[in-house]
């Protein structure tokens, strides 16, 4: 295990920041849906001499000498990812989710081409056509939204817009949507209008790998995912596609978008995929959903409105408008007692995006710590109590101690110091 003795000796300033962040992670409850705690094995793989190497190109075709071992390393990561997701082709060099998506667009589209994606304020991602993002500036995004009554994606509506707009690509996959995605229906619609199908499974990749959510990889043309969310690997991404698109995807990543891959991160990706292939990971993935449902049910029973009425995955969006609270106020109040959540828009939010009406809550990180349904119910009660007493510093202080005690019972597996 890295002891950080060199950091401690040679850069005490940095070391003290590390200590502070470890303490925060250990003593506070992480309910941000996109975060997780990696294993020590994943952490160790990142802190290796693989970081010293330049390996532009692909296995057997590198632009630098000395890549014999890196070729083996990259092939290992690819083989494991293929097995995990039943993929025909995998590129493991994408540096993160957004650049991976940029490469996907570059591989399939010309600037100005039309793409159909989910509205950001309904749970989509910035890289799915938001006007401040490269995607919205380079491509002509048209958007579908959630049904205002059900809070779910209305596939008839998606079909109607697709027939009307005739996009060249349809994007499915979201940052704040709590229901199963009907991949086959997306594919049928895309086939009807002659569009490419692109799934962005950044959030749910771990659930898919664990066999508790449906896998779009065998169905869609191309699929991207981050590796650091439910998949519990290092920060990074991969792209999976049908063999017939392999060349154009690889070329879009290098030399299209990126230079050299981050080989130490590739190493950590391989370790994480190896972990996700183990039977224990299936148990983990199922527990994420059990926990998410327990939390959503308890919050509902305490009078909170969960968008779409519940959850099938690792997250939920809670509408605080009926409680007279803003997402920002709730995020701040919970931060004060050591719980991290992220403010979130709700479908057709009456408030502006900078001060939206909801919070997004997720269970992947808490589940990694070993928490189960009982703890989730306890957490729901703590959240409710904090939001009801947001101006009562005494109560907030008591709740903070309670959160701390709970966290100390379930140590973070990433803890090193």
Ligand X SMILES: *Cc1c(COP(=O)(O)O)cnc(C)c1O
Helix-helix angle 68-85:263-276, to 10 degrees: 30
Taking the complex as a whole, the smallest distance from the CB of residue 229 to ligand X amounts, in Å, to 6
200 has catalytic annotation: yes
Largest CA distance in the chain: 64
Q: Which of 55, 67, 175, 197 binds ligand X (CB under 6 A)?
A: 175
Taking the complex as a whole, the smallest distance from the CB of residue 224 to ligand X amounts, in Å, to 7
- Nearest C-alpha neighbor of 143 from the set 122, 156, 133: 122
Question: Rounded distance, CA 401 to CA 406, Å?
Answer: 9
Name the residue whose CB lies closest to ligand X.
Answer: 97
Residues 175, 124 contacting (CB under 8 angstroms): yes
Long-range pairs of 77-83 with CB within 8 A, sequence gap ≥ 24? 77/266, 77/267, 77/269, 77/270, 77/273, 80/270, 80/273, 80/274, 80/277, 81/238, 81/240, 81/269, 81/273, 83/277
Q: How far is CA 107 from the centre of its chain?
A: 22
Here the tokens at position 229 are 């969310």
34 binds ligand X (CB under 6 A): yes
Taking the complex as a whole, the smallest distance from the CB of residue 272 to ligand X amounts, in Å, to 14
Q: Which of 98, 197, 266, 363 binds ligand X (CB under 6 A)?
A: 98
Q: Which of 96, 286, 290, 336 binds ligand X (CB under 6 A)?
A: 96
Task: Kindly determine how many residues on this chain lie close enough to bind ligand X according to the rule CB under 6 A.
Answer: 14
Question: Rounded distance, CA 118 to CA 71, Å?
Answer: 38
Taking the complex as a whole, the smallest distance from the CB of residue 223 to ligand X amounts, in Å, to 11
Would you say 26 or 215 has its CB closer to ligand X?
A: 215
- Nearest C-alpha neighbor of 83 from the set 269, 224, 276: 276
Instruction: List the catalytic residue out of 28, 30, 121, 200.
Output: 200
Residues 142, 150 contacting (CB under 8 angstroms): no
Residues 375, 339 contacting (CB under 8 angstroms): no
Would you say 62 or 128 has its CB closer to ligand X?
A: 128
Would you say 36 or 127 has its CB closer to ligand X?
A: 127
Instruction: List the catalytic residue out of 197, 225, 226, 333.
Output: 226
333 has catalytic annotation: no
Of 97-105, 265-273, 305-313, 409-417, the segment contacting ligand X by CB under 6 A is 97-105
97 binds ligand X (CB under 6 A): yes
Taking the complex as a whole, the smallest distance from the CB of residue 70 to ligand X amounts, in Å, to 23
Classify residue 153 by its DSSP letter. Answer: B
Instruction: List the catalytic residue out of 54, 165, 214, 372.
Output: 54
Contact pattern from residue 194 through residue 233 relative to ligand X, giving x for each residue in contact according to CB under 6 A and a dash for the rest? ------x-xx----------------------x-------
Q: Which of 174, 196, 198, 304 binds ligand X (CB under 6 A)?
A: 174
Taking the complex as a whole, the smallest distance from the CB of residue 325 to ligand X amounts, in Å, to 25
**CA 352-356-357 angle, 5° bins:** 125
Would you say 201 or 386 has its CB closer to ligand X?
A: 201
110 has catalytic annotation: no
Would you say 58 or 174 has its CB closer to ligand X?
A: 174
Would you say 95 or 320 has its CB closer to ligand X?
A: 95
Taking the complex as a whole, the smallest distance from the CB of residue 127 to ligand X amounts, in Å, to 5
Instruction: List the catalytic residue out of 56, 165, 188, 384.
Output: 56
E strands, 46-99, in order: 57-58, 61-62, 89-91
33 binds ligand X (CB under 6 A): no
The residue to which tokens 């009554």 are assigned: 149
Distances (CA, A) of 284 to 57, 211, 212, 408: 35, 11, 10, 20
Would you say 125 or 314 has its CB closer to ligand X?
A: 125
239 binds ligand X (CB under 6 A): no
Q: How far is CA 102 from the centre of its chain?
A: 17
The residue to which tokens 């101006």 are assigned: 391
Would you say 96 or 305 has its CB closer to ligand X?
A: 96
226 has catalytic annotation: yes
Residues 341, 304 contacting (CB under 8 angstroms): no
Question: Rounded distance, CA 296 to CA 318, Å?
Answer: 9
145 binds ligand X (CB under 6 A): no
| Partners of 118 in beta bridges | 144
Scanning residues 120 to 139, which ones bind ligand X (CB under 6 A)?
A: 125, 127
Which parts of this chain interact with ligand X (CB under 6 A)? 34, 96-98, 101, 125, 127, 173-175, 200, 202-203, 226
Write out the catalytic residue numbers: 54, 56, 200, 226, 229, 235
């Amino acid at each position: 295990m890295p002891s950080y003795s060199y950091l401690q000796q040679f850069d005490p300033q940095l070391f003290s920041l590390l200590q502070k962040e470890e303490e925060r992670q250990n003593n506070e409850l992480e309910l941000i849906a996109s975060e997780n705690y990696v294993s020590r094995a994943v952490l160790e793989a990142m802190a290796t001499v693989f970081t010293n190497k330049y390996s532009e190109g692909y296995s057997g075709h590198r632009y630098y000498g000395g890549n014999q071992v890196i070729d083996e390393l990259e092939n290992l990561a690819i083989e494991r990812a293929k097995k995990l997701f039943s993929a025909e082709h995998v590129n493991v060099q994408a540096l993160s989710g957004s650049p991976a998506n940029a490469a996907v667009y570059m591989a399939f589209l010309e600037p100005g081409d039309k793409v159909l994606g989910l509205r950001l304020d309904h749970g989509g991602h910035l890289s799915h056509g938001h006007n401040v993002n490269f995607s919205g500036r380079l491509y002509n995004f048209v958007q579908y939204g959630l049904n205002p009554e059900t809070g779910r994606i209305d596939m008839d509506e998606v079909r109607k817009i697709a027939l009307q707009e005739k996009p060249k690509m349809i994007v499915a996959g979201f940052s704040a949507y709590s229901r199963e995605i009907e991949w086959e229906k997306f594919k049928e619609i895309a086939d009807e209008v002659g569009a490419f199908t692109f799934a962005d499974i950044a959030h749910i990749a771990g659930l898919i790998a664990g066999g508790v959510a449906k896998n779009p990889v065998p169905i869609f043309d191309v699929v991207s995912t981050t590796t650091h969310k439910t998949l519990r690997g290092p920060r990074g991404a991969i792209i999976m596609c049908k063999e017939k698109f392999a060349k154009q995807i690889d070329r879009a990543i290098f030399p299209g978008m990126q230079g050299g891959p981050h080989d130490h991160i590739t190493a950590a990706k391989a370790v994480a995929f190896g972990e996700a292939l183990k039977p224990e990971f299936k148990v983990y993935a199922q527990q994420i959903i059990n926990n998410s449902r327990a939390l959503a049910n308890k919050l509902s029973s305490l009078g909170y409105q969960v968008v779409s009425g519940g959850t099938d995955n690792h997250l939920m969006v809670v509408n605080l408008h009926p409680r007279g609270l803003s997402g920002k106020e709730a995020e701040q109040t919970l931060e004060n007692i050591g719980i991290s959540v992220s403010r979130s828009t709700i479908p057709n939010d009456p408030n502006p995006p900078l001060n939206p009406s909801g919070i997004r809550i997720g269970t992947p990180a808490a589940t990694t710590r070993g928490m189960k349904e009982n703890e989730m119910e306890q957490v729901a009660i703590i959240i409710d109590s904090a939001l009801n007493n947001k101006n009562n510093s005494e109560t907030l202080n008591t709740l903070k101690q309670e959160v701390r005690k709970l966290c100390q019972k379930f140590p973070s597996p990433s803890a090193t110091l």
